[in-house]
Structure 1
């Protein structure tokens, strides 16, 4: 079954976003709220390119202003805005009629568009006496632990000073090898990074459907309490504007990441931004499925770039996965890659499947002589520094399959 999402007309989107009105297909419910949504104080809002630009590819000032009208209304909340749109905003000024396929022209469009985008936000929020701060990130910034901590401090300070952080992927320098690829996953990571109470994903779609909404008998999925609610549903790409990179797959994945970290998520269209912030029943609500975890664990699971791998025997796989044990030298069969102590590495079973990821305590060149041996024997031969885990359980996360 193909999951799709209904789209809205441009005029209706502007009207409903500014008034919090009832767009077709998703009625507002006024005071009826959702747990963990209406009372959220720190919120990450992600908006897609198609919600901010015209069909020709330029910024739509009315759409930007309509979104800001909604966000600025909530003076008692701290809002971090993860905004796509830089590449799309740069298309028309550069005479491009569609998003280019090659990286060089994408970066050129982003270079032009990013300035236009932040200037528009600056002017729009200034109508309410609010300042904005631009934060551009690459996947490399989140895969390097020091950069990750610096981003966290910058965002916290901007919020403390009353500014609205405007976060986007730094498309002008990111390469194909080090990209988020879409801002949905970036938004989920930012939500955890700033310890948000809520993540709202806004696009040109109004929620997750159990089929093609243009066909009889299909309906929007109001709530997702866990992975089982999505069993049997094939999540397909959505959005027809051609200016963005994400689709329903990336949005559901972002919602899964955030929900697993204890952050509820509302997926809806920019049409219903006001309803989403008010906690009304709009779009699809993803309930928390896990607890808020340490920053380093979310970084390990979703932002780190493994520098190598350790192949485990069956006993070690069982100990790590089922008993939450640390990885000892005795359970390692092989080492792959060239990494240093403190780097993230994958833990793989004999079949090559990655079952976990962790921070390794030894350099790759040291591990071959440790393989298959007990820590007691190693300490006796090599010294007390070797009587320890190769990967400690506190620096290890299991990978879902």
Structure 2
């Protein structure tokens, strides 16, 4: 077996995986032209997932489709553009989507549980832990969790933007070993296959490779909001956190979840980071920025040291001790994100000073190295 085939096979044996499916894979236009759920497509996906569960493995399903499922019942002909109508469609569509999943999984004797999240739920550390406990318990009880963004209440300011990123965050949240991203495209290509000759990229081994794929000519997907760029970003997040990733079409789902070589494979890189550092880097909402000099950049980034007051040259934003704050260099480039030990109104008096110059209440790190995630 080739190293590529062995890597796919490892994902096929993973004890816990996340499967993400896009709206376009679950819907189709009806006779009146309005988009609605395609039960046959949904059943096909459920059959593949049920086979994984029957083999003693665990699956978390991250499913788009709530807004798309609500389009036809509202008498709309296309995905609404305004937020309030999107929320209305999601309110109706989410019920229809989960009912369809419940009925389909019931054919295999499986129960489902709905978990609706907003970006705000994962940006707040306490909510993040609550979501983690809920998903873990559902899996322990033999339930298939179905995760979706809570489009009925999400606003533009607190949206994930697409469920690809939500899938990557969920994969780390539940300590999954594998993630399968499904859409209507069978993998990552070196050009847009809808516009001319293009070659499937079977493996992307590193972050540089993920960043180098040209997605500028990619076409938008009907009722969905994601695209290949968001899938590559999701793969970058997940693979960097120790999760193997396959990007392929929903038609390839039965082969992908069993570890057969389909689509584009992105192997895990490095060790799985702690929940705290992963949350800091990918899910936290920074409340401000602290500008640090070149020496502090070297100490924090290369030396993995704590941030001391002497290396700070400026700060912006309003934040409290314990909030997530970005560290930026003199050129404004974000280099790290961490939990700050001081309120924003305390920092001006500390900036640029040696620890020995400060009173006893302020002779501690501005950020401890254990609370800093490098970007």
Coarse TM-score class (shorter-chain normalised):
over 0.9
Distance 1:351 1:231, change over 3 A: closer
Contact 1:42/1:198, CA 8 A, preserved across alignment: yes
Any idea what SS the aligned residue of 2:8 has? coil
Q: Which of 123, 133, 140 does residue 153 from structure 1 map onto?
A: 133
Partner of 1:175: 155
Q: Which of 356, 359, 373 does residue 336 from structure 2 map onto?
A: 356
What TM-score, normalized by structure 2, do the two folds share? 0.94
Unpaired segments ≥5 residues, structure 1: 1-30
Q: Which of 18, 34, 41 does residue 15 from structure 2 map onto?
A: 41
Q: How far apart in 2 are the matches of 1:47 and 1:389?
A: 44
Partner of 2:364: 388
Please list, as runs of the form range in 1=range in 2, the aligned pairs for 1:2-401 lying within 5 A after superposition: 34-55=8-29, 56-74=34-52, 75=54, 76-214=56-194, 218-230=198-210, 232-236=212-216, 238=218, 240-378=220-358, 382-383=359-360, 385-399=361-375
Instruction: Work out the number of aligned pairs and report it.
Output: 365
Q: How far apart in 2 are the matches of 1:322 and 1:272?
A: 42
Listed one character per residue, the Cα deviations across residues 224-268 of structure 1 (whole Å, up to 9, x for unaligned) are: 110233465312364554200000000000000000001010000
Distance 1:332 1:128, change over 3 A: same
State the 1:36 CA deviation.
Answer: 2.4
User: CA RMSD of the aligned region, Å?
Assistant: 1.6
Q: How far apart in 1 are the matches of 2:152 and 2:87?
A: 4
Contact 1:136/1:169, CA 8 A, preserved across alignment: yes
State the 1:217 CA deviation.
Answer: 5.2
What TM-score, normalized by structure 1, do the two folds share? 0.88
Unpaired segments ≥5 residues, structure 2: none
Higher mean Cα deviation, 184-193 or 341-350?
Answer: 341-350
Listed one character per residue, the Cα deviations across residues 282-320 of structure 1 (whole Å, up to 9, x for unaligned) are: 000001122100111111111111001111112111211
Partner of 1:8: none
Tell which has more relative contact order, 1 or 2 (C-alpha 8 A, sep 6+).
1
Higher mean Cα deviation, 247-256 or 302-311?
Answer: 302-311
